[in-house]
Chain A
Amino acid sequence: MSRPVAPSPEAVLEWASTVQSTSDLILRRLAGEYHEDAWGFDEEFTEAVFPIFEFLYSTWWRVKVEGAANVPGHGRALLVANHSGAIFPFDGAMIATAIQKEHPLPRWVRAMVLNWAFDLPFVSYILRRLGGVAANPANLGRLLNEDQPVMVFPEGQKGFGKGFADRYRLQRFGRGGFIEVALETGSPIVPVAVVGAEEIYPKIGESKPLARAIGSPYVPITPTFPWLGPLGLLPLPSRWRIEFLEPIDLSGYGPGSSEDRSLVFDLTEQVREQIQEALYRGLVKRGPAFL
């Protein structure tokens, strides 16, 4: 049996200073002395919860990233990704984490979030502090004009809430509104393919009565949720791959092109096909979902 070792004075001092700086941070925040930008994004808060995302990223989902450098390091950029998750939009969180960890010039990416999320208690302001903004063309255009990187999930609810049987099959890309805004603002589009998020909450059904009861547009049923209660919210540890594709430059189309319906539809379809192909590629590269 070994004797208990007394902690060295340096370790005690270090520990004490950590406690002090943490309590200082908490007191400072309780006094309101922190920064939020005009959109409600709170960088300090985001950095404080970042270790959770880091754990999910490296340990839980073992995310592999390809082409992170395709995201422009400065200026406006529109990241377009497939959407899934059924319960929590972890795909968006992991795209942001991937850029933080793999990009040479990391930036926080704003996310266009389904409107009804801002009607849910707690979720509404947590999303906002993490950089979530209600999805509408006005917000997207304004963020891009502020030279921010923004991610959109054009499938929206149809992608987020699709059943397990439809996994990795891209749904319709809305009406191509994001292409219109990208053309108006001259923003490059970076298609992003996320493989792995479809398996974290395999959705096998929906509960209409429960959805009506809590005022949510739908409530998913998975093998674990809602049967296991809060424990059912634990995402399954699938293996992930995120691929950032080559940026599509739209600056050559010039002003007014956003009103050209057929051009908008063509570009929408082009982006959609690129992501779908990357998904199939990524699925093969990833291999088995959980091992």
Chain B
Amino acid sequence: MTDKRIVIAGVSTRWGSELARTLQRRSGVGEIIGIDSTRPKADLGRTEFVEADIRNPVISRILPALEPDVLVHCGIVWYPEKGRPSRALHDINVIGTLQLLAACEKTPGLEALIVRGSAAIYGSAPGAPAFFTEDMARRFPLVTRFQRDIGELEGYFDNFARRRPEITCCMLRFGVEVGPGLDTPFNRYLNLPVVPTRMGFDPRLQLLHVDDATGALAAATMNPVRGAVNVAPDGAISLSRLLRLCGKPAVGVPPVLVSVINRRIGNYLGSADLYRDGELLLRYGRGCDNRRLREEIGYELAFDSEGTARDFARTSQGIQALFPSPHPGSPVRSVSR
């Protein structure tokens, strides 16, 4: 088997950079080329960098010239960042993906396309299945802008997969990621000194460890399967228990104040006007089935939801003196931050 030429679109995002660094150490990987509109902040070693914006039609000339065997699309942005305001997200996520798919049409020899998508397509609803399987997408109306964007780009993706059956098209649906060093609105939320929760609700969450997020992405790149695959850990944990493990005091927000406080906090945490996604998730929670990831892609998860929570608790800055543990030996407390 010859070594694969891998192109990573969105290589300057945290996930793109992590993937490039992980793949460099693997056997069976040939050249790695990263595309993005900005230079990656991290040192990417032997990964070549090509500056290009996937929103620009020029990508249709650049991509075929790179002659990729495998294309990994890590350029879907979940949260507004510096230089990427929330109104630009639709362009980046939907138009960018559309341009990239158009470029793939003109790239002969492409064997596989992997997209780092989102489990937001399942939504969060009170009567939802406890474990969404891949065929349950769009079962609930897509209510937030991010959900609709994901729904739209998955529609384009499915069309492409149907038109080009010779290319293995794999849509990875990532859930909430948590881990030391990760800077997303959800991680910032958990790091608040006092965490506001919706009074009377205790969502059931699945926490994907950052290491597993990168590991699963790399595993899917090496062994892509057709269709959608949930990237979700085993088990689930309730928000209240997560906060207790972190030693965080939670404050129940009464329903009349929820929308005001959530908008404020959403802004503060950097999710700007996309806070609705978090609001729904922190009300109803969500769980996904990970059978395809484990059995078909063959990735072994290192952490389950509880393990991720404990790992996060070890490194988070909780007010841990508030409730001294009756079990001094428990790993959560014994490792100082």
Contacts and interface: CB of A to CB of B under 8 A. Distances in A.
The answer to whether A and B belong to the same complex is yes
Interface string B224-235: 000000000011
Interface stretch (B15-23, B24-32, B320-328): B320-328
A28 B326 contact: yes
A118 B126 contact: yes
Contacts of A116: 126-127
Contacts of B332: 31-33
Given A38-B235, A136-B129, A121 B323 contact: no
Interface of B: 126-131, 133, 136, 199-202, 204, 234-238, 240-247, 255, 284, 287, 313, 323-327, 330, 332-333
A121 B200 contact: yes
A115 interface: yes
Nearest to A135: B127
Contacts of A123: 200
A84 B187 CA distance: 44
B215 to A, nearest CB: 21
A124 interface: yes
Interface string A171-213: 0000000000000000000000000000000000000000000
Nearest to A137: B129
Contacts of A120: 200
A40 B238 contact: yes
Given A27-B323, A38-B235, A39-B130, A122 B241 contact: no
A40 B287 CA distance: 11
A139 B289 CA distance: 11
Question: Which of under 10, 10 to 19, 20 to 34, or 35 or more describes the interface residues of A?
Answer: 20 to 34
Interface of A: 24, 27-34, 36-40, 115-125, 128, 133-136, 138-139, 142
A121 to B, nearest CB: 2
B143 to A, nearest CB: 14
B245 A31 contact: yes
24 contacts: A27-B325, A27-B326, A31-B244, A31-B325, A32-B244, A33-B327, A34-B241, A38-B131, A38-B287, A39-B236, A115-B127, A117-B126, A118-B126, A118-B284, A123-B200, A124-B126, A124-B200, A124-B201, A124-B202, A133-B130, A134-B129, A136-B127, A138-B133, A138-B136
B129 A138 contact: yes
B238 A36 contact: yes
A31 B126 contact: no
B244 to A, nearest CB: 3
Contacts of B287: 38
Contact of A36 (B126, B237, B247, B327): B237
Given A30-B323, A121-B199, A138-B129, 4 more contacts: A27-B323, A31-B325, A36-B237, A125-B201
